Structure 1
Amino acid sequence: MSNKNIELVHTESDILSIRLSTNGFSFSIYNPERKENLYFQTVSVNIQHSMAANVKNFLANTPELNIPYRQTNILIHTQRYTIVPLELFEDEQMELLFYQNLPKQNNEIILCNILSKSNIVILFSIDKLTHVFLSEHFSHARFFASISPQVEYLTIKNKSENQHKIYANFHESDMEICCFDNGKLQLVNTYNVTNNDDRAYYLLNLWKQFNFDSEQDELHLTGLDKHERNELISFLRQFIRKIFIINPLSEKPISPSLEDIPFDIQSLLTCE
């Protein structure tokens, strides 16, 4: 799926952002100085193959990835992440901290995203061979857990807020959640959910857990196709009055349809 054609020249001032998920890959090409133009493309993967094999094929067969860019971002959609307060973080303890909270897996390396606005560090893992392929192809790439730009964007957005809010980003097989209490980040988590019944169950339980007000506090949603999302919203409105759809790039004069662009990519580009 392509939003518009792009000329593969003069990209030295553009930002390439790649998103990798077991369900498929996507990438965007964006120039902050030409904010009205954003190129976005999705790429299918062979789910029978490893992430590394799919990445190798992706790099070899996608012309847009073989030209120079000002900056390359690589987002890994993963549930294998953990959060550490910034004041407790030390580089040499990354693996120790990570494996205190998550079971060990073979052939992975641990990376970190320092989120200065949120005052936390997100530790996450990536398959070693995948990391090798990407690092060799993009020598100066920045790697992110897909949750990281979302947390930073939402922290900035809520800095001066005095409300209670829950943000939910839906995918086919999981749901990423960020909760804020009077502008302060209270919770970041990912839940394994594949249907609206389970999504509603977790959201309403969080609402109750944080003792949020059904009339005044806010729920912000993104992801899913319109039909499925509207079905969920219709059910949730029985319990929560203020429900909104998130579109970070709606504040910018971007040309493609925002519905097609993952929230984590939107968040990353908004924070650039």
Structure 2
Amino acid sequence: MAQPIDFNKSEQYILSIRLSTDGFSFSIYHPQYESEAYFSSSPVNTQRSMAANVKAYLTETEELKHSFKQVNILIHTSRYTTVPLELYEDEQTELLFYQNLPPQSNEVILCNILGKSNVVILFGLDKLTHLFLTEHFPNARLFASVSPLTEFFSHKCKQNEGRKLFAILHPESMEVIGFEKEQLTLLNSYPTSSLHDSCYYLLNVWQQAGFDQEKDALYIHSNTQADQWEELLLVLRKYIRKLYIINPQMEFNNLTLSLIKQIPFDMLSLTSCE
């Protein structure tokens, strides 16, 4: 069971912040005494820019004003691209990024090197948001939210044969990650306004990528508490025999944070990037 956080020893804790258009959240936990854990989430002001929301969040959230042992910042974004690790060169970061995505002004391109997956994920963040974050947390590690997901699922695939598709559903989007054994074969994000959208994209990806209805497996997780969730699973089971629900408690051995229903799965999977 979670215990209260003692901010007098905040420098022993790990802070992880997640920034998304559908809300901001953060978790705090002690890496040795994992029962000392805390999670909080809040909506964003849709009338403000991301930078303005971030500035207000950092200014007004008392828990974020302490010093921490480690700070992770997750940017939930679809503005990313992947590069095979063996082909990546640091001085070509912007060139590689804008070959795959349209140019955008006032943007900084960041890089996550994923050693377990053998890929590099490049992602964009507006310069003012980046400035606010790095001024407040100079030593923070910044990740695209798909980065820890990719590392986590890559490790999960190493001991298993066959092809696997992983889908993480959010209120307004979905990440889909595909592997053949431990080899990353597919990574994409889709905007979704309902679970029906998620069903459409998943079945389309399954078909277009040539997954086998009988042999290959789909793993799916959703934080949404929608009535349509069971309906989505019923539809998917008509077309995919090996359909599994991702259980955070089982995946993370009942880690205290994993018992919190509202915590995003990408935040939990940050442990794979340690």
Shorter-chain TM-score category? over 0.9
Give the aligned partner of residue 30 of structure 1. 29
Structure 1 distance, partners of 2:229, 2:145, is 21
Structure 2 distance, partners of 1:267, 1:65, is 21
Structure 1 distance, partners of 2:172, 2:47, is 17
Please show how residues 1-272 of structure 1 align to structure 2 within 5 Å.
Answer: 5-223=4-222, 224-225=224-225, 227-250=227-250, 251-256=252-257, 257-272=259-274
Structure 1 distance, partners of 2:256, 2:56, is 29
Distance verdict in 2 for CA 1:165–1:258, change over 3 Å: farther
For residues 113-141 of structure 1, what are the alpha-carbon distances to aligned partners after superposition, in whole Å with 9 as ceiling and x for unaligned?
A: 00011111000011101111110110100
Using the size of structure 2 for normalisation, the TM-score is: 0.93
Structure 2, unaligned runs of 5 or more? none
Partner amino acid for 2:253? Answer: K
Task: Please report how far the alpha carbon of residue 218 of structure 1 lies from its aligned counterpart in structure 2 after TM superposition.
Answer: 1.4
Distance verdict in 2 for CA 1:36–1:242, change over 3 Å: farther
Partner amino acid for 2:266? Answer: D
Task: Please report how far the alpha carbon of residue 39 of structure 1 lies from its aligned counterpart in structure 2 after TM superposition.
Answer: 0.9
Partner amino acid for 2:267? Answer: I
How many residue pairs are counted as aligned between the two chains?
Answer: 270
RMSD: 1.7
SS in 2 for 1:53: helix
Stretch moving more, 132-141 or 35-44: 35-44
SS in 2 for 1:12: helix
The answer to whether the Cα contact below 8 Å between 1:35 and 1:252 also exists between their aligned partners in 2 is no
Structure 2 distance, partners of 1:169, 1:141, is 25
Percent of aligned positions that are identical: 52
Stretch moving more, 252-261 or 105-114: 252-261
Distance verdict in 2 for CA 1:247–1:258, change over 3 Å: farther
Structure 2 distance, partners of 1:132, 1:71, is 18
Structure 2 distance, partners of 1:230, 1:30, is 32
Structure 2 distance, partners of 1:249, 1:82, is 30
Partner amino acid for 1:233? Answer: L
